[in-house]
Amino acid sequence: MRPQPDLDEERPPALLVLADGEVFEGEAIGAPAEGGVRTGELVFNTVLSGYQEVLTDPSYAGQVVAFTYPHIGNYGVTPDDDEAARPFCRGVVVRDVPPRPSSWRARASLEEFLVRQGVPGICGVDTRRLTRHIREAGAIGCAMGTADERVLARAAAAEPGTTGKDLVSGVTTSRPYVRGSGRWRVVAYDFGVKETMLRCLEQVATISVVPASFPAEDALAMEPDGVFLSNGPGDPAALGPQSQVVSDLLGRVPVFGICLGHQLLGTALGGRTFKLPFGHHGGNHPVRRLAGGQVEITSQNHNYALSEDSLAGVAEVTHVNLNDGVVEGIRATGVPAFGVQYHPEAGPGPHDARYLFSRFTELMASARS
């Protein structure tokens, strides 16, 4: 029988301290933070379900994730929902963690998962007040744990955040590997690729997953029908070598990018990126498809975006965020390449944009004919 947490066991008191001095009280959950301190860039996510997919998404490397939904952990965790072999986030902040999961799929509780994976957390936090503060202050450095408030305050003030950081090198695969056995041959650059992305691609393709630093000529030597650029963490402006690889591929093979891959496609075309105040993190962002005007409900996880003005003459904007007008999709002019900022693969959902994988196969078919 699966071990259960002791309902009578008291959790140690803990604090979440922000770089601007704001303090939130709570209780420590998950793995103990070394020295009672864990730091990171604090962001919030609005999903109601899919918390395991969020925590195992490599795009959260360097960040502490605060969930706005009050009850996180209701249905436990299962290896089937992992997006990577382990979480890369620095920590987790929640309002309430149910003591026992309620799902036939559960193999462990969320707390057991956090302990096993070495991820510290804090519960009992007023996440509504915290979210409102982040919306005003923006993504911000933080420190959490059982250490003294003054120690946590110094650590929070010293947290550098993700700006200017190459976090991709810490999450990418160390060597190429193959997935799937579909008709099309696709080289997928792993900037922090999610398992669900590979599952979507392997329905139609044989995928050679390669490291983020894989040379363009080596990728082309595999004779792919297309190249896929995955999601990933950190600042795209810090990834000059990866942007150059994408530039070397453009015009020689069809390219499809998602999230960070979309940003790298844009920068390879000559565009610029900028950091959003508090990013887009959640499963309910409305996006308008400009060709036809359809509205898609999308899953998103990014702190950076492409500047629309910088894309003039090199790419057409195909999708925009209805909340703030941010560019959500582009199509290159003159070469077969397109990308979207959001996640059409989204596990557990929404799936409004799964058609984009079919669009990729259509692009590969057109290039082959």
Query: β-pairing, 327-332 with 315-321?
Result: antiparallel
pLDDT at position 7: 43
Q: State yes or no: cis peptide before 348, omega within 30 of 0.
A: yes
Q: What is the pLDDT of residue 99?
A: 87
Distance CA 58, CA 97 (A): 23
Question: How is the chain split into domains, by residue range?
Answer: 13-158, 168-368
**Measured CA angle at 115 (ends 131, 349), to 5 deg:** 50
Q: Which pLDDT value is given to residue 80?
A: 96
Q: Write out the two tokens for 154.
A: 């110094």
Q: How many CA atoms are closer than 13 Å to the CA of 106, on its beta-carbon side?
A: 19
- The answer to whether the peptide bond before residue 5 is cis (omega within 30 degrees of 0) is no
Q: Which helix (H) or strand (E) holds 279?
A: strand 273-289
pLDDT of residue 10: 86
At 301, list the tokens. Answer: 């996880």
Catalytic residues: 259, 343, 345
What is the predicted pLDDT for the residue at 51? 98
Mode of pairing for the β-strands spanning 273-289 and 226-229 = unpaired
Tell me the C-alpha distance between 315 and 320, whole Å. 14
Cβ–Cβ under 8 Å, residues 120 and 32: yes
Helix (H) or strand (E) holding 209: strand 205-211
Q: How many CB atoms lie within 10 A of CB 181?
A: 9
pLDDT, residue 212, reads 98
Q: What are phi and psi of 246, to 5 degrees?
A: -60, -40
In this predicted structure, what is the pLDDT of residue 4? 45
- Cα separation, 34 vs 145, in Å, equals 9
Strands (E), 74-133: 91-93, 120-123
- The pLDDT score that the predictor gives to residue 368 is 84
pTM: 0.95
Provide the strand spans (E) within 31-146: 38-45, 63-67, 91-93, 120-123, 140-145
Parts of the chain with a pLDDT under 70: 1-9
Fold match, 13-158 / 168-368:
no
Interatomic CA distance for residues 85 and 57, integer angstroms: 10
Half-sphere exposure of 138 (CA within 13 A, CB side): 8
Q: What is the pLDDT of residue 2?
A: 40
Cα angle 128-137-296, degrees, rounded to a multiple of 5: 65
Alpha carbon 339 to its chain centroid, in Å, reads 15
- CA count, 13 A, side-chain hemisphere, 114: 29
Q: What is the spatial distance between Cα 187 and Cα 260, in angstroms, rounded to a whole number?
A: 16
Domain 13-158 grouped into CATH 3.30.365.10: no
Contacts of 289 by beta carbon, 8 Å cutoff, 6+ apart = 295, 296, 318, 319, 329
**Domain 168-368 CATH (choose: 3.40.50.880, 3.90.650.10, 3.40.1010.10, 3.40.50.620):** 3.40.50.880
